[in-house]
Amino acid sequence: MSSTIETLERELGEAQLIRADQQKAVIRAENAHEAACAARDDAWTESEGFATDDEVERLSTLVYERRRQLYEAIDRLKAAEGKERRIKSRLMYVLPAERRRYLSGAVDGEFEEFLRAVEAAYYDGRSPGIEVSVVTEKPGELDLRGDATWRALERLYSGTVRRWVEIRAGRSPGAAEKAGAMARQVAYYAGGHVPRVFVGGEEIQTDGPSTGGRTGPEGWRPLAGFDGPKGRLALARITARRYLDEGSVARLSKRAASLGQIAEIARLYQTMNLTGDEIRWRLEQLISLRLEVLEAVYDLTGDRRRFSFYEVARAARLLDGHFPDSGVAAEALLRAVKRAVETGVPLVDVAYLSVTSGEGF
């Protein structure tokens, strides 16, 4: 796959250069056409014989020639843009999950405080500190320092504002391992966004949240200001903002426990190699559920059962909307899953029968 990405990145770079050249050619052709039209109009105004004047005829012929050249330049530009779009479509097909290399959501004061807390947690007071910062790239600007995948992403999304977290460390002993741990901790809470890590000015590759076998949150250093209930709620908001709009986060903030559970579900999804859009869609289906039902959905997701997310979410919404007591709804969901496994009946049908028949299984 890397060779395919590298080839497409190179082809996209060449196509974008050709497209830029054709855009300049169109501008030159437009200017030449406008200049010819202005000269012909001036000649018409000054000519006594009007349309029969030789200079007017010569300039009219020049206008037609410049117009033909303009149309040809526009055709070449459209062809170059079409080639660029086709290459971008192929790249988007082979890079679906790589979009998380960019930081989604708003970068607010709370997120900046989180980065400062990560910096402080790994500062030992002896070696130079490791810097953590958010880099913003404007439309039209490209950062081509990384590997083929990064260069492909930069070319693919060059027309948008991009943000990412950078971690910069010196070459002191253990700096690379410390920076890698910081990157994994940031990725866990920042919606799976994998920071770029530079050690001694050279970029090194770090593992994303979907990589198994790595130390979990219990093995990370505590973050000052984020270790109490309010701190955990702030971390939940930071995770939720990577996927949900500010209105949804504000509504969830009124139900602190549910917000925390939604964040935990999002972090679980981050380990499943889902794209950001896929996680966002899943969370949007769950934000209306009550806490106990959310906890049941988390347990079912963690167990990696054979039911799809769509089945579990639909059954959860159906039962949560029917039972006034959220604990009863959560228990009904777990029983529906057990009955569906035993009988082979689709999960949604089992949940629907429990609602219409009023049976408690």
How do strand 196-199 and strand 131-137 relate by DSSP bridges?
Answer: unpaired
pLDDT of residue 70: 95
pTM for this prediction = 0.78
> For 297, how many CA atoms within 13 A lie in the half-sphere containing its CB?
36
Average pLDDT over residues 173-194: 88
Given a cut of 60, whether residue 2 has pLDDT beyond it is no
Given a cut of 50, whether residue 360 has pLDDT beyond it is no
More confident residue, 75 or 209: 75
Given a cut of 70, whether residue 208 has pLDDT beyond it is no
Q: How many residues does the chain have?
A: 361
> For 46, how many CA atoms within 13 A lie in the half-sphere containing its CB?
9
Given a cut of 90, whether residue 304 has pLDDT beyond it is no
Q: How far apart are the first and last CA of the chain?
A: 49
CA distance 124 to 80: 54
Name the CA radius of gyration of the chain, rounded: 29
How do strand 202-204 and strand 196-199 relate by DSSP bridges?
Answer: antiparallel
pLDDT of residue 361: 44
Q: Which residues contact 53 (CB under 8 A, 6 or more apart)?
A: 43, 47
CA distance 112 to 92: 30
DSSP 335: H
Residues 323-350 pLDDT 10s: 888 898 999 888 888 888 888 888 888 8
Question: Per-residue DSSP letters for 146-198?
Answer: S-HHHHHHHHHTTTS-EEEEEEEE-SSTTHHHHHHHHHHHHHHHTTT---EEE
Average pLDDT over residues 233-259: 92
- For the beta carbon of residue 146, count every other beta carbon within 10 angstroms: 15
pLDDT of residue 353: 85
| Cβ atoms of 308 and 340 closer than 8 Å | no
- Residue from 180, 191, 206 nearest 274 by CA: 191
| Cβ atoms of 303 and 273 closer than 8 Å | no
DSSP 317: H
Given a cut of 60, whether residue 117 has pLDDT beyond it is yes
pLDDT of residue 272: 82
Q: Which residues contact 213 (CB under 8 A, 6 or more apart)?
A: none
Q: Dihedral angle at the C-alpha atoms of 77, 83, 88, 94, nearest 10 degrees? A: -170
* Residue at token pair 């947690």: 121
Average pLDDT over residues 32-46: 88
